[in-house]
Structure 1
Amino acid sequence: MKHPHRFLAAAALLLLAACAHKEAVKPQPKADFAMLLDEQRAREHLLARTDHWVLQGKIGVSGVVNGKKDGGSGTLTWTQNGDSYEFVVHGPVGSKSFRLSVTPDGAVLEGLEGGPQRDPNPELLVQNALGWHVPLRDLRAWVLGTRADSGPAELKFGDDGLPSTLAQDGWSVAYPAWDTTREPAVPSKVFADNPPYTVRLSVESWHFQ
């Protein structure tokens, strides 16, 4: 015959485990979300005035070109100077390396066969020349962990109070890691997905002017 005390103890443990599971998946209270959203607005206000910086790290892009999966990767130096910026990508041996220079007047892509290429739209220029589908306009905001001005955005926050995901303009942006040594904090990893396209940024250093 089974001991009733052991049975009751086991049942109590199962009940506690079930309660703990429910607590773990409980949605974030609206009051907490409102507070986190206010903190995010404050971050965005500070970073909106930060338009001169240099990001160094790695970039990986994948997608579909002419019905086939394609992409590329390399080291990235992104220099932002107000409304102008420069992307310098050095790929592995045998891969694509290039320099993309963008101003309000248009974009110039250098380093590929055939000489410099120009287009008023940098995103179309990169897509046509490299096959890379990269949301450059919105990425300037997303890489700082802020919402772009391209339309409505949905934010979710992690336990650290910083954005964990951002959904905007058809893209889902994840922030697996942040550099919290800075004030305000900035992302150290940015993963953007808009199937079949993906953009992966791993930031090794930020330099703000």
Structure 2
Amino acid sequence: MTMRAIGIAMLAIALAGCATRPAAPALPAVEGTAQAHQAMREAALAAVPDWSMTGRVAVSNGKDGGNGRIEWTQQGPRFDVSLSAPITRQSWRVTGGDGDAVLEGLAGGTRTGPDAGALVRDATRWDIPVDALVRWVRGLGGADATLAYGADRRLTRISEAGWTIDYANWRIVDRAGIELPGRVEATKGDARVRLVVDAWTADAWTQ
């Protein structure tokens, strides 16, 4: 499958990606500083290495782009990410972690390499930093990241490795009060990856 074919396939469900979702319940006020609240989130998420997320994704490189469904399953350092356009039944999948990656579903057969993001970029010309998104999608920055907070003392932006990641629609995903974002948008120059999360799941969480 070529990159243009993927874009056409994903655009077939663009209306689904724009569907209106019910408003999330109001979040409680953050007690203490924004940094302390973020530190508590990071500690709580570190205790849940296995999780999954389903939603909608839009990607573009300034010239080509598309929309589709995304299913992300994480088991420790290992990830399994599938993007699909159900109407046309076209999809591709990238799996990996620990320095290896496998990309399936594109023309030319299965491709492998040490870096998932580089593998996707070489095959599709879309810059999707898969390895970093493992952290970013949950609102976690790396050692060199700069974090910014809103008036409600919740994370609004991470700046890291030339990328800007913006957050919105925070929600509580378990009885212990762990918060995760409902919308994540990562940009770097013309590259853009936008995620709208429909559900977060893990054995330790309840929706």
Question: Does the TM-score normalized on the shorter chain lie above 0.5?
Answer: yes
Deviation of the 1:194 alpha carbon: 0.8
AA in 1 matched with 2:46? A
After superposition, give the CA deviation of every residue in 1:9-38 in whole Å (9 maximum; x if it has no partner): xxxxxxxxxxxxxxxxxxxxxxx9x82112
Let me know the Cα RMSD of the aligned residues. 2.2
Residue type at the aligned position of 2:184 = V
Structure 2 counterpart of 1:120: 114
Which structure: larger Rg? 1
CA contact (8 A) 1:144 1:186 kept: yes
Paired with 2:149 and 2:158, the residues of 1 have a C-alpha distance of 9
Give deviations 1:33-90, integer Å, cap 9, x for gaps: x8211221121121122210110001111114xxxx1122210000001111101110
Q: Which runs of no fewer than 5 residues in structure 1 stay unpaired?
A: 1-31
Gap runs ≥5 in structure 2: 1-29
Q: Which one-letter code corresponds to 1:86 in the other structure?
A: D
Matched, 1:102 2:96: yes
- Residue 49 of structure 2: aligned partner: 51
Q: Residue 90 of structure 1: which of 84, 87, 97 is its match?
A: 84
Distance in 1 between residues matched to 2:68 and 2:53, nearest whole Å: 14
Q: In the alignment, is the contact (CA less than 8 A) between 2:139 and 2:155 conserved in 1?
A: yes
CA distance in 1: counterparts of 2:158 and 2:39, whole angstroms: 14
How does the TM-score come out when normalised to structure 1?
0.75
Moved over 3 A (4+): 92-96
TM-score by length of 2: 0.76
Identity of aligned residues (%): 32
Q: How many residues are paired up? A: 172
More helix by share: 1
**For residue 161 of structure 1, what is the aligned residue in structure 2?**
153
Contact between 1:165 and 1:174, CA under 8 Å: does it hold in 2? yes
